[in-house]
Structure 1
């Protein structure tokens, strides 16, 4: 989402992520799940659990930072800017004294914004 307008940066980042993944997984299975310890890989299961918790924490931190930046208005182009612009237009309409009314499929219901 951050690099949706820059295809070169997106390609570089995707390539770097794939390279890091292949480097990591080239030694990980051999060291963490050795054949001599099969089928009870106590060390392997422990390391996997720790990695899952670490990657989940990093992902959730990234989501928090992304949402914080969107709310702060750090993105001036794309769909997030349009949403912020639409919100400001609705606020401006209320200041002007006009009112926006949306009608749903049911003729009895109407929503005022």
Structure 2
């Protein structure tokens, strides 16, 4: 996982959020697609990042694309890791729909398993 690029995209995503005053802007989807690509490129590295370097702010932004990452690269360990971090970042869980993102990701994994697609 390219952490430097990930953090650059997060900064851009925050900037787009600020200038759009919470409204949908074209740059949001572009940032989400880039984040999905970065996070799904190397799942082992992403899990390592989550466990060792991820900040509270980064954690909350990841919730925005967690389901897309899991759709692209179904991985039980990634979802488990992300879910376990809910205790480390309780304020983000209270402010953002982290539980909803986890539930969505778990539903994708269940669907994949039921339809014969194994997760990594």
TM-score tier after normalising by the smaller chain length: under 0.3
Answer with 1 or 2: which has the greater Rg: 1
TM-score by length of 1: 0.28
Normalized per residue, the structure richer in helix is: 2
TM-score by length of 2: 0.27
